[in-house]
């Protein structure tokens, strides 16, 4: 299952150890990590990205569920990005891409107190025990949530509602006097502009989602191949 994973630690040292354990779990074939980062919460509420997990073909954090969650945890002006590939705060702050509920965000925000450090990662895992066992051994507090799919239905319903309003306004224009017709036309033009912008945004989001899913499939195949090789090597190791 595709999940958002957040593990909160008391300091950077144990957080980096946790990051290493996630990489080891990936090598063992227990999980796949698509994107991730180690972040530090400062006393003033800002969040600094300390380290990025390279998920291969999925790309940088900007625009990902992980990047959006980091931005939300730091707030619209509370993200301090380190020298990590030229990423900017604006690339992170997008609530539409976070793909987790507000209750999850609230729980993580409460746990990620000032001066604490967290691993935030988008992962694929079939069972939770491997991650929980290793993170808890390091003193980490684990939060996870299944990620939403692209909200196509909501977007389509919103666009359909606006189109219905356009039809209604046009029907009224046919019976209206000149002054009223001009006002209705203005409303139609405004709605048409919103519809076009919404349709463009929905298309871009779907295309980005499809590209990421393709990249994730490549990661899963790569990890499966690595795990298969590890099992084969183990079987050929003399006892």
Q: How confident is the model at residue 226 (pLDDT cuts 50, 70, 90)?
A: low
Give the number of domains in the chain: 2
Decide which of 82, 117, 146 is a domain's last residue: 146
Whether 132 has a pLDDT exceeding 80, the answer reads yes
| Cβ proximity of 32 and 223 under 8 Å | yes
- What mean pLDDT do residues 34-45 have? 88
Residues 35 and 49 reside in one and the same domain: yes
The burial class, CB within 10 Å (0-12 / 13-18 / 19+), for 143 is buried
At 141-160, the pLDDT tens digits run: 999 988 765 455 566 777 88
Residues 48 and 137 reside in one and the same domain: yes
Higher pLDDT, 105 or 220: 105
Sign of CA dihedral 5, 100, 73, 108: negative
Residues 159 and 117 reside in one and the same domain: no
Cα 57 from Cα 73, distance rounded (Å): 26
Residues 141 and 230 reside in one and the same domain: no
Cα 108 from Cα 71, distance rounded (Å): 13
Whether 59 has a pLDDT exceeding 50, the answer reads no
Whether 91 has a pLDDT exceeding 50, the answer reads no
Whether 57 has a pLDDT exceeding 60, the answer reads no
Higher pLDDT, 170 or 150: 170
Domain span holding position 125: 2-146
Residues 100 and 35 reside in one and the same domain: yes
């Amino acid at each position: 299952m595709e999940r958002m994973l957040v593990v909160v630690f008391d300091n950077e040292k144990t957080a980096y150890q946790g990051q290493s354990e996630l990489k080891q779990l990936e090598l063992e074939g227990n999980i796949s990590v698509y994107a991730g980062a180690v972040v530090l919460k400062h006393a003033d509420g800002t969040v600094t990205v300390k380290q990025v997990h390279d998920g291969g073909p999925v790309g940088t954090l900007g625009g990902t569920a992980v990047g959006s969650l980091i931005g939300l945890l730091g707030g619209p002006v509370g993200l301090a990005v380190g020298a990590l590939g030229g990423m900017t705060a604006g690339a992170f702050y997008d609530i539409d891409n976070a793909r987790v509920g507000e209750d999850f965000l609230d729980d993580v925000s409460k746990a990620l107190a000032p001066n604490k450090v967290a691993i935030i990662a988008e992962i694929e895992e079939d069972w939770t025990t491997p991650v929980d066992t290793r993170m808890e051994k390091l003193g980490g507090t684990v939060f996870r949530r299944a990620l939403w799919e692209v909200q196509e239905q909501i977007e389509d319903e919103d666009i359909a509602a606006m189109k219905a309003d356009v039809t209604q306004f046009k029907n009224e224009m046919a019976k209206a006097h000149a002054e009223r017709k001009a006002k209705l036309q203005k409303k139609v033009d405004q709605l048409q502009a919103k519809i076009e912008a919404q349709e463009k945004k929905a298309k871009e989001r779907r295309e980005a989602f499809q590209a990421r899913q393709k990249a994730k499939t490549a990661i899963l195949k790569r990890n499966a191949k690595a795990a298969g090789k590890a099992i084969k090597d183990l079987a050929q190791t003399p006892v």
